[in-house]
Amino acid sequence: MERFEEEKTTYEREIAETQGTIAALLEHMQKTMVRQNNLPTAAQFKDTKAELAFKQGQVENAETTYARLKVELEQRQNDLEKIKTLEGRIEKEMQQVTEKITQMEDEMSNKFTKTDDLKVDFDREKVRLAAIRTFLQQYKPGLAKQMTYHAMKHDTKKNQILQSDIYNRLNDIEKKLIQNESQIYAIQQYIEAKGAESNYQGAFQDCMGLCHEINLDLIKKSLTVQ
């Protein structure tokens, strides 16, 4: 009897568990059927897919438009900064022009208000220049005479020098010195060329001394002839 009760209890528990499992399966099946009823048809899926592609195209177009507008906005901002800079320069230049005009107006006003003083200065300068002109006109003939006199004196002195015996002797001495220097240079070149082959320093010094003595002797003779 006790075993029957135990088995009965076991069976009742198993039956209850089986009933619970069946109820859960039925509930799951019901939810699955509801989801199946809510699933779109093939046509609806195709329309939804086409709409999704259209929306994606719109999003891509919007992104492209946004990027283009962003670039244009940056360009407009740069242009605006340039315009602001240019406006600042223009305002500065306008201010400078205004100040310059004001300065010129002040200068013109001062000049026009001082016309009497300017006229006096002009008349005074005119008188001074006229006096200088008169002085120059009076001094010009005398200056011309002095220039003629000095020119004639210079020419006379030049002719006297050219005709002087001393001048002629000096020219002769200069020519002889030039000739002797040429000869000395030729001798020096010859000695230096030979000096490369052997030692002629002693002979070279003797020749140089002899040439110097000849030049001095020529100069003394030319001067004693006078």
Has residue 8 been placed in a domain?
A: no
Q: Picking from 12-26, 94-108, 142-156, which range would have the lowest pLDDT averaged per residue?
A: 142-156
Mean pLDDT confidence for 110-126:
70
- Is there a domain that residue 12 lies in? no
Please indicate, yes or no, whether residues 96 and 71 belong to a single structural domain of this protein.
yes
Question: Does 47 map to a domain?
Answer: no
If you average pLDDT over every residue of the chain, what do you get?
A: 70
Is pLDDT at 7 greater than 80 in this prediction? no
Q: Compute the C-alpha angle 165/170/173, nearest 5°.
A: 125
Place of tokens 């019901």: 30
Q: Quick one: 172 and 200 in the same domain?
A: yes
User: Cα 3 to chain center, whole Å?
Assistant: 117
Q: Tokens for 62, please give them.
A: 């919007």
What domain count does the chain have? Answer: 3
Q: Does residue 152 sit in the same domain as residue 170?
A: no
Residue 201 lies in a domain: yes
| Rounded-to-integer distance, Cα 48 and Cα 55, Å | 10
DSSP for 129-169 reads HHHHHHHHHHHHHHHHHHHHHHHHHHHHHHHHHHH-HHHHH
Q: In the 8-state DSSP scheme, what is residue 197?
A: T
68-92 per-position pLDDT tens digit: 777 777 787 777 787 778 777 878 8
**139 plus 183 within the same structural domain:** no
- Tell me whether residue 45 is in a domain: no
- Report whether pLDDT(181) > 60: yes
User: 171 with 219, same domain?
Assistant: yes
Does residue 53 form part of some domain? no
My answer on whether 181 and 199 are in the same domain is: yes
Q: 219 and 168, same structural domain?
A: yes
Q: Is residue 151 part of a domain?
A: yes
Q: For position 64, what pLDDT does the model report? A: 77
Domain co-membership, 157 together with 174: no
**Alpha carbons 27 and 7: distance in angstroms, whole number:** 30
Residue 46 belongs to a domain: no
| For residue 225, pLDDT beyond 50 | no
User: CA-CA distance, 123 to 204, in Å (whole number)?
Assistant: 83
Tell me: the pLDDT tens digits for 11-35? Answer: 667 777 777 777 777 777 777 666 6
Q: What is the domain extent for residue 103?
A: 59-113
